[in-house]
Structure 1
């Protein structure tokens, strides 16, 4: 994917996860704490779809909100392709426990 496509897909993931978080009172509290602390974000590169899904499953199994984007396939990639995953919010000290040494994008 081009850098612009990655940016657009990331925007879809962040918005989708944000909307999911708004559905729960507890998660709204987490979301508000995240916003009050500056809404910090980080992007990491995975080597495969399987690696992304493994990280998503790890986060989800720990009760951390996740949102996976499947592309519509209108421009650069096949319809239904998994492109990005939003995870969080979570405390910065817990990020490495989830991404396990992935490089920043």
Structure 2
């Protein structure tokens, strides 16, 4: 699951690239820290959902709650080569993890 920072006004291609970065890194990280969750995710169709948040400050609360629930996360900081300033928080990836827990964590967010 990926949460996109809407305040940056990224173009569609930029969002796609940032979601790609977040997804790959989250998968790699979870493979080390949560291998059983990754196995379940791989066997069940590898569901992917993109949500949005109006501001990067929301990432802090989401990450804190995710850590409390033992949900793996990865926050992408842009390199600053194209549309947005270097270091901008673009996408927060959550999981792979139990869908019920992810829904509890992100149920207040809207689909991208």
Q: Same fold (TM over 0.5)?
A: yes
Residue in 1 aligned with 2:23? Answer: 14
Matched, 1:95 2:98: no
RMSD of aligned residue pairs (Cα, Å): 1.1
Shift >4 Å, 4+ stretches: none
In the alignment, which of 50, 63, 67 is matched to residue 57 of structure 2? Answer: 50
Answer with 86-95 or 74-83: which moved more: 86-95
Q: Distance in 2 between matches of 1:71 and 1:3?
A: 15
Confirm or deny: 8 A CA contact 2:30 2:96 kept in the other structure.
no
Structure 1's unaligned 5+ residue stretches are: none
Measure the CA separation in 1 of the matches of 2:107 and 2:63. Answer: 12
TM-score between the two structures when normalised by the length of structure 2: 0.86
When normalised by structure 1's length, the TM-score is: 0.91
1:85 maps to what in 2? 92
Gaps of 5+ in 2: 1-9
**Are 2:76 and 1:69 aligned?**
yes
Indicate which of 42, 45, 48 corresponds to 1:38: 45
